[in-house]
Structure 1
Amino acid sequence: MLATIKNISVTYDGVGKSFSSGDFISGRITLELGKDCKIDYLSIKAKGKSEVRWTERHNNTTVIYHSKDKMFSIEQFIIREQKGQDCNVVAPGTHVYPFTIQIPQQAMPSSFKGAWGKILYTLEAKLSRSMRISSKARAEFPFVSKADLGSIPELMIPQHGTKVKKMKFFTSGKVGMDIHIERMGYYLGEDLNVVVSIENSSSREINKYTLYQKDSFFARGKRRVSTKDILKELGEPIPPSGKLKVTKVLKIHQHIVPSIFTCSNIKCEYRLKIVLDVPYARDPEIKLPLVILPATQTSGLQPPPYLTLGLTRRERKPTRMEQHTTISTAPGAYPPTAPGAYPPTAPGAYPPTAPGAYPPTAPGAFAPPPAYGMYPSLSDFGGKSEWEKR
């Protein structure tokens, strides 16, 4: 028996590029039908969420730790439910429905996948039919948070660390280490200049440089941490009874995840660790906090002229009396200039001056929730942060 819905998929323009707050995402829903299909509604939803999950064994009981946080959710209706026996009946064939959605202008964390949690941004197409299970298709898109060193004064503060250690047992004398970096914040791809001054009255040593990532996951009042080294390099050997001052240049790789401080259940931090490799003694080390920002910011994309206006706030369901908007009802009707497509001059179309249209200041349009603080509690970097106190 021939299936009514043979396939549904969602794609977006600019695959391989990253999106940021305020950008427009344009794409299309492709619907392949085997026979006539009466549709209650067809919608596209853009959303961002974070999720954390891990399990622990306590005696004979397995405890699941799980938490979720939603950054935003915007749903746009392309076909709406209408009264009438023949309303919203779509003929067999392939139908393509273009859409454009704007990401809210608010601070949100970058896309992330870690040991026990992830931050995802997705587009989800949903086709609803009476007395049938809804058909869905999903596409994940990369999101990069916006940040500027100049707008966050704490990130421009120079970092400094000092360590003096007396040698015992098999090694005599003492070593002193003094570390300077020019600021706390760096962009991906930047060079990190580390100025190291070492005074050595002990035996021969080598200093090691490590940039490592520390991910924290929070659920049900508990915290899990995972760490991994991003880069490791050796410095020059230090002669006995000598002094050495060098500048070590470390490259911050482009492929790592920017720091995350604006998510309630996931935190991503970076530390620079400098260690003196001392024979027959515990190695002295210094750790300095770093905040890694995205390398470049994507420019805001402009909406195309066929932008539909079915934006809703959060999860509102369409009413039966709302306007029916079908981008394409004939097989292969895309692009929008084809017969039956959405003309820009139609009632309720773009530009935003039309009644009920975007931008968010229009009545009934999407109004994003208050923005998160971009980098809270940076003054706590020297001790425990707000997340570590939980």
Structure 2
Amino acid sequence: MFGETIKNFNINFNARDVRNVYSSGDLMTGQISFELTKESVINCITLTLKGKANVAWSTGGPRNRRRRSAKVEYFNFKNVIMMNGDASIQSKIPPGTHVYPFTCQIPHGDFPSSFMAYHGQIVYTLVVAFDRPWHLTKAYETELNFANHTILTYELMSPLSGSNGMALCCLWCASGPISMNVRLERKAFLPGEHVKILCEFSNASSRTATTKARLLQKQVFYTHNRVCKMIVRQHLASQAGDRVGPHSSDVHSELTLAVPSNVPFTISNCAILEVSYLIEVRLSVKCFSDLRVLCPIVICNLPQDY
């Protein structure tokens, strides 16, 4: 059997950096290694680099359920790692451990970052296939950690701010206004980074208000031409803040919100899938609607020396 002949297959990449993230145009190098348990003939070993996106979900009830789906292929090309010089001779490879280097370049293009969710995914894979006479082709697949190129624009690295206010009214009684100003040091952040949120409150009412910050994710999945879509919202992290007492002004507070280390990057360049993030700061007063400030942020692959 094929599985008994080839064992301990492994792909070793020459790491680019501590994150080991690839982007369009990057040169990928490494070695494949495997063990042959007996003398064998291998016609060729190929390496295929693939990039694709797909989404799928269902709508309607049990009697009129409809499946929605879409696919996009970004690239699919093949390189040869090893070729038997003369197939008619079918020279045999001896048993033991064998190592073959490989080099391939990711195509240039505006490709979206890797993403994986229940209703959709963007996947970049490296497939190594063995072609042997009188055997089915055996393939080994490895996923790549791919990130869209991040250009540090003025907008991404500039402070981000927002404000909101309201007056509390209860039947015939009116209370003083409540206002909130929120400021972030910039718009772009890395997974695993801590976001510093600077808040300024004014509470002219007779009630105590409480603060809270949340990181929200929005996933949107589309069919082709965006005829149909499905939206998934997730609450990723939260942090409680200080209480703002009644009849107080110029109250300053600082919250620190941790971005989970495993969150995917923001995706805005895929025709069938989008991922976006918001930091929501709430000021809550009992029996009244919350006062909210929304700050849209970008999670991206920032350079290490930003």
User: Does the C-alpha gap of structure 1 residues 109 and 39 become closer, same or farther in structure 2, counting only changes over 3 Å?
Assistant: same
Q: Is the 8 A contact 1:8 1:135 kept in 2?
A: no
Match of residue 202 from structure 2:
198
Deviations 1:71-98 (A, max 9, x none): 3333211234776521565445443221
Root-mean-square deviation (CA), in Å?
A: 3.2
Matches within 5 A, 1:1-390: 5-7=5-7, 9-14=9-14, 17-21=19-23, 22-33=25-36, 37-80=40-83, 84-87=87-90, 89-129=92-132, 132-149=135-152, 151=153, 153=155, 156=158, 158-169=160-171, 172-182=174-184, 185-188=187-190, 189=193, 191-220=195-224, 221-253=227-259, 255=261, 256-297=263-304
Matched residues in 2 for 1:266 and 1:277: separation?
Answer: 34
Q: What is the Cα deviation at residue 4 of structure 1?
A: 7.7
Match of residue 312 from structure 1:
none
Q: Which runs of 5+ in 1 are unaligned?
A: 299-390
Matched residues in 1 for 2:106 and 2:260: separation?
Answer: 24
Tell me which moved more, 78-87 or 223-232.
78-87
Tell me which moved more, 71-80 or 231-240.
71-80
Q: TM-score scaled to structure 2, two decimals?
A: 0.81
User: Does the C-alpha gap of structure 1 residues 102 and 273 become closer, same or farther in structure 2, counting only changes over 3 Å?
Assistant: same
Residue type matched to 1:236 in 2? D
Name the structure, 1 or 2, with higher relative contact order (CA <8 Å, separation 6+): 1
Q: What is the Cα deviation at residue 14 of structure 1?
A: 4.8
User: Does the C-alpha gap of structure 1 residues 206 and 172 become closer, same or farther in structure 2, counting only changes over 3 Å?
Assistant: farther
Residue type matched to 2:234 in 1? K
Q: What is the Cα deviation at residue 41 of structure 1?
A: 3.2
Secondary structure of 2:210's partner?
strand
Q: What is the Cα deviation at residue 58 of structure 1?
A: 3.4
Q: How many residues align?
A: 297
Q: What is the Cα deviation at residue 11 of structure 1?
A: 0.7
Q: Is the 8 A contact 1:115 1:226 kept in 2?
A: no
User: Does the C-alpha gap of structure 1 residues 204 and 101 become closer, same or farther in structure 2, counting only changes over 3 Å?
Assistant: same
User: Does the C-alpha gap of structure 1 residues 62 and 155 become closer, same or farther in structure 2, counting only changes over 3 Å?
Assistant: farther
Q: What is the Cα deviation at residue 125 of structure 1?
A: 0.4
Identity of aligned residues (%): 21
